A and B are shown apart, each in its own frame.
Chain A
Amino acid sequence: MSNPQSPTVSQEETNSGIPATSPTLATSAPASAGRKWLKWSIWGLFGLLLLAYPFVAINVRPWMTIANLGIILAIGALGLNVLAGYTGLASLGHAFFLGVGAYTCMYFGGNLGWSFLLWLPLAGVIAGVIGLLIGAITLRFRGFYLTIMTLGMVFIGGHIFLNWKEISGGSQGKSVPAPAIGDFTWAKPSAIGPIDLNRDQKFYFLALPILILAIIFVSNLMRTRMGRAFQAVRDREVAAELMGIDASRTKITAFVVSSVLGGICGALYGSFLTYLQPEQFGGINGLEFSIRFIAMIIIGGIASVPGAIIGALLLTAAPELISTFSEAIPFIQKGAGTGGITSNNLSEILYALLLGVFLIFEPTGIIGIYRRIKARVLRSKIGKYLT
């Protein structure tokens, strides 16, 4: 990852809200060769694990679905974090942009049969252009106004998706094309050299690099001029304006970045699910989908790149695991009409409780807990030994 090279100042504690562990510039010596080696070997090991995962998880339901959906939704969560976390604008309309992306994929990939290499970027571009138009109208409004306008966006968008039958297939829905580049398609298994890959594994190796690119892009962005402008507008709009930042243009820019990532996420999401009904992105379901994205960044860690990823993976894994292992959980209904609660209800209630607990007691999310533990460990005797 290419990070800004800071000549004198370490960037590690940016936005953490936690005292730096090395208190002065004077004492923060350049990382020793040993520590650098340690850091790289941890990253290398992590990379190997990511490569090995689809071969280990493939026969154990539902781990492959969790990985693929989690990776795809993480791209969208990252996008929402740019808007909500870094720029401080609460949008309930993120699902709408996923819908725009998914229908771009359906139309250009399905109706017109274009290559994945064209429809995926196009999903981002079209979502971005629509984001620009909507942002220019709605971002004149502040706080509650904006939230309600984005709510309107989900309802109006849902209505359009439902009625634009040529693209969406109307209320019965329509199938979504699998990614395809030339003759190579993600619809069925194939052998690459000596390795046999099934559809889910192929999807994993497609989605993961896209997520990694998105992570690098957002991380770099937040450490450079425009990313700082987003955060300045979030923290104090009047002061930001006096630094030469045009607040309304900056907000619209953040809205567009968030929409582009939402669109790409939506295209991959639709393509992975293979069949979509327009209700998924609009109306009440669209609103719930948007709220789920907000929950991801709150539980994972607001205004944090790893936070968005962790939140997306966690909220994807939890309901899948509950429904897979519902047999083993007491009080869960084992079949229709046998009494007890459904696994769906259980996931919903856990989700609401989790969201509430984090909002009330741990607003910095899982990343906040991690940072606190890290700071405590580094301050302790073990920490002194490590450094």
Chain B
Amino acid sequence: MTTFLQLLVQGVALGCIYALIALGFTVVLMAGVINFAQGSFMLVGAYVVSWLVLNMQVPFLLALPMGVIVVALMGMGFERFILRRMSARPVFTIIMITLGLDIFLRVVTILVWGQDQRTNGDPFGLDGFSVGEIRINWADIWILISTLILLAFFYFFFKFTKYGVAMRATALDHEAAAAVGINLSQIYLITWAITGLVATVGGVFLAASPRVLDSNLGFVALRAFPAIILGGLGSTVGAVLGGLILGLVEVLFSGYVGTGPNQFFGFLGNGFYTVATYVLLLIVLLVRPYGLFGKKEVERV
């Protein structure tokens, strides 16, 4: 039972990070783009914050918003100068251009900051407290709080602000949104800024102790992809729930599935947890082809 509760705590913490990543994917998807460079956005955000704190002695609480601004500007720049000129191209081209950006940003990060591992400069370290036999790190609490704050912010943003409502309208139908006077290029820029925001926060927490920061950090984003489909493509609530489910599944599988002591289903192999989310996705889609919260799209001729 203790193990289970301990895994649950870890699962929720990881699930929050996945929820942020999935939210980033979903927001950009509102602008009609799937952003394979999300992982590199997280990487750059985490490195910028780490560099500001450790090399420039900027306080963490100041460094985090600065990192957010850098990555948001980067995202907006990519939208403004590259994506905008590709608007009429097929899905395939858009996927490839973001994959190209992903490779580029990762190599540039290596060139600037090197290959070595480093810490992310957050003040939490490995400090924490115990509830009974369950160990909880302050970092996990902060992940939860930050995620809740961001989710509350987005809830109000999408529900009540002019831009949030315009973004939802755009996600439903770009042409119709343009027809009622929504400035699409503004909306696209905002979506990329939001992606930068959630990517940086997600990246910094992903690199929090006991994990470390290195150039492989961004690959975790690839494991978050099932979240956006699991919840139903384009649904923000679905993405957040999908992310949480993913985190829990991954951590529980890492604890219980394998060939070690007290583990089960050894035939699935060690490390099955890294693919468990994709297996889960496959099963869900076979039963519910449009995800848990998605709706069937009606194709117009």
Contacts and interface: CB of A to CB of B under 8 A. Distances in A.
Are A and B direct contacts in the complex by CB distance below 8 Å?
yes
Interface in A69-103: 84, 88, 90
B101 A155 contact: no
Contact of B107 (A140, A144, A352): A352
A359 B104 contact: no
A298 B229 contact: no
B89 interface: yes
A151 B96 contact: no
B82 interface: yes
Contact of A349 (B91, B111, B279): B111
Interface in A354-375: 355-356, 359-360, 363
Contact of A145 (B86, B100, B103, B233): B233
B301 interface: yes
A226 interface: no
Given A356-B100, A359-B96, A143 B91 contact: yes
A238 interface: yes
B222 A356 contact: no
B51 to A, nearest CB: 19
B85 interface: yes
A363 B93 contact: yes
A159 B104 CA distance: 27
Contacts of B299: 238
Contacts of A341: 111
B96 A298 contact: yes
Residue from B82, B223, B228, B282 having most chain A Cβ neighbours under 10 A: B282
Given A298-B96, A352-B100, A363-B89, A145 B275 contact: no
B226 A152 contact: yes
Given A88-B90, A345-B111, A349-B104, A360 B85 contact: yes
Residue from A140, A148, A284, A287 having most chain B Cβ neighbours under 10 A: A148
A88 B279 CA distance: 26
A180 interface: no
Interface residues of B, number: 47
A207 interface: no
Interface string B219-249: 1001101101100010000000000000000
A294 to B, nearest CB: 6
Given A152-B282, A238-B301, A341-B111, A359 B93 contact: yes
Given A152-B282, A355-B100, A359-B97, A144 B34 contact: yes
Interface string B244-281: 00000000000000000000000011111011001101
Contacts of B222: 151, 155, 284, 287
| Count class of interface residues, chain A | 35 or more
A63 interface: no
Nearest to B267: A163
Residue from B89, B100, B223, B233 having most chain A Cβ neighbours under 10 A: B100
Contacts of B233: 144-145
B95 interface: yes
Contact of B91 (A90, A151, A156, A238): A90
Summarize A's interface: helix, strand, loop or mixed: helix
A367 B90 CA distance: 19
Contact of A88 (B92, B97, B226): B92
Contacts of A158: 275
A218 B219 CA distance: 35
Contacts of A295: 96, 100
A353 B105 CA distance: 11
B108 interface: yes
A147 B25 CA distance: 14
A155 B221 CA distance: 13
A318 to B, nearest CB: 14
B99 A356 contact: no
B104 A155 contact: no
A348 B107 CA distance: 7
Given A141-B285, A145-B229, A152-B281, A90 B100 contact: no
Given A149-B281, A341-B111, 16 more contacts: A88-B90, A90-B95, A140-B289, A144-B91, A149-B282, A151-B225, A151-B278, A152-B225, A156-B282, A159-B271, A163-B268, A284-B216, A298-B96, A348-B103, A356-B101, A359-B100
Interface of B: 29, 34, 82, 85-86, 89-93, 95-97, 99-101, 103-104, 107-108, 110-111, 216, 219, 222-223, 225-226, 228-229, 233, 268-272, 274-275, 278-279, 281-282, 285-286, 289, 299, 301
12 contacts: A84-B92, A137-B282, A147-B91, A148-B225, A162-B271, A284-B222, A295-B96, A345-B110, A349-B111, A355-B100, A356-B82, A359-B96
